[in-house]
Amino acid sequence: MRLIWRARGIPREAQARFMWEPRKDAVRTAREARCIVNDLLGRVRPGDFVIIDCLYMLLHGGDENSAQTLQPMVMEFDRLLTEGGCSGVLLVHHQAKGASGQKAVIDRGAGSGVVSRFVDNVFSLDYLDADEEDEFIRQAGEQKLRPRRLSCVMRNAEEDESVDFLFGGPRLVTDAGGDLSRYYVSGSPQANGAHSARGNRERAEQDWAAKAELVGAALEEAAREGASPTPEYVSAYYQAHHGEHGLGKKAGLGTIRNWLKPGCVSLPFHTEGGVVVPDESGGEGQQEAAHERAPL
């Protein structure tokens, strides 16, 4: 930050107004916390908005899990409002390790819960578990933008709110169209469920594609042999060659007949006049059906 200010010709006395460097001593007692805030009170002016980035840097090795350490510190920061006349104080706090989405917004911060329960508002910045195959997400990724959600718990608000956006380096693009609203915070039960569902759909698509490839190969083999490509022929070919197409299960004649019924869009083939023929549609709707069916 100082390099940027220096490049823009901002004098040191002005820099001192915008950046305060805490002491190297750890803040572990109420007295030390009071000294820190006294230093700040000598620098701020009424109406200033103070950002402390980040909270654990003030500890310098102190225990952020200790309520006895953090409580006097955050209580002293309140003096910036009551005595310094500041318009607000923003404490930047890191999240705990692990999947933040498994916790409530107010419990996502690292260490003791004293901080989140003392402040008026809690804002949690989280990753979204978005589908990389989604065209909107794909285009954003090409621009080095990643989906994020800012979740809010505000003491005086009637209900909690959240804001979705794409972020990459200095760029922030709000999700005005609501394209990110269907996604969940990474690690949350909803995100894990959606991720599992996407995996099931992908496996189903691959499974039906392999079956379609096998049926097509059966029809080609029947043509070479001069045989009639009946469901019985396709079934026999399936039993003999399913492993070559990555299909781990055999399928009985009754199952294959069901796959090849007219109007069944799972495979781009159907039975007509006792023989198996390709659909004129070329298999349109096959992918849609795969989303609805589990692999056999």
Q: Which residues make Cβ contacts (< 8 Å) with residue 220, sequence separation at least 6?
A: none
| pLDDT value at residue 296 | 24
Name the token pair of 253: 């004649």
| pLDDT value at residue 105 | 80
Predicted confidence (pLDDT) at residue 56 exceeds the cutoff of 90 = no
Q: Is the dihedral of CA 32, 38, 41, 43 positive or negative?
A: negative
Band of residue 136 on the pLDDT scale cut at 50, 70, 90: very high
**Looking at residues 21-47, what average pLDDT do you find?**
76
**Looking at residues 243-252, what average pLDDT do you find?**
84
Please state whether the predicted TM-score (pTM) of the whole model is above 0.75: no
Band of residue 284 on the pLDDT scale cut at 50, 70, 90: very low
Band of residue 100 on the pLDDT scale cut at 50, 70, 90: low
Gap between the Cα atoms of 272 and 258, Å rounded: 13
3-state secondary structure 136-178: HHHHHHHCCCEEEEEEEEECCCCCCEEEEEEEECCEEEECCCC
Of all residues in the chain, the percent with pLDDT exceeding 90 is 28
| Mean pLDDT, the chain, integer | 81
Gap between the Cα atoms of 91 and 109, Å rounded: 11
| pLDDT value at residue 204 | 84
Gap between the Cα atoms of 259 and 19, Å rounded: 70
Measured in whole angstroms, the distance separating CA 204 from the mean position of its chain's CA atoms is 23
| pLDDT value at residue 104 | 80
| pLDDT value at residue 290 | 36
134: amino acid identity, one letter = D
Band of residue 287 on the pLDDT scale cut at 50, 70, 90: very low
Give the residue among 117, 115, 137, 118 at the shortest CA–CA distance from 128.
Answer: 137
Give the distance between the most distant pair of CA atoms in the chain: 96
Q: Is the peptide bond before 54 cis (omega within 30 degrees of 0)?
A: yes
Q: What is the pLDDT of residues 181-227, one digit of tens each?
A: 988 888 777 776 776 777 777 788 888 899 999 999 999 999 999 99
Give the residue among 90, 164, 93 at the shortest CA–CA distance from 120.
Answer: 90
Band of residue 289 on the pLDDT scale cut at 50, 70, 90: very low
Predicted confidence (pLDDT) at residue 2 exceeds the cutoff of 90 = no
Predicted confidence (pLDDT) at residue 60 exceeds the cutoff of 70 = no
Predicted confidence (pLDDT) at residue 88 exceeds the cutoff of 80 = yes
What torsion, rounded to 10 degrees, do the Cα atoms 42, 43, 47, 49 define?
-120
Q: Is the dihedral of CA 73, 74, 75, 76 positive or negative?
A: positive
Gap between the Cα atoms of 58 and 161, Å rounded: 30
* β-pairing verdict for 49-53 and 88-92: parallel
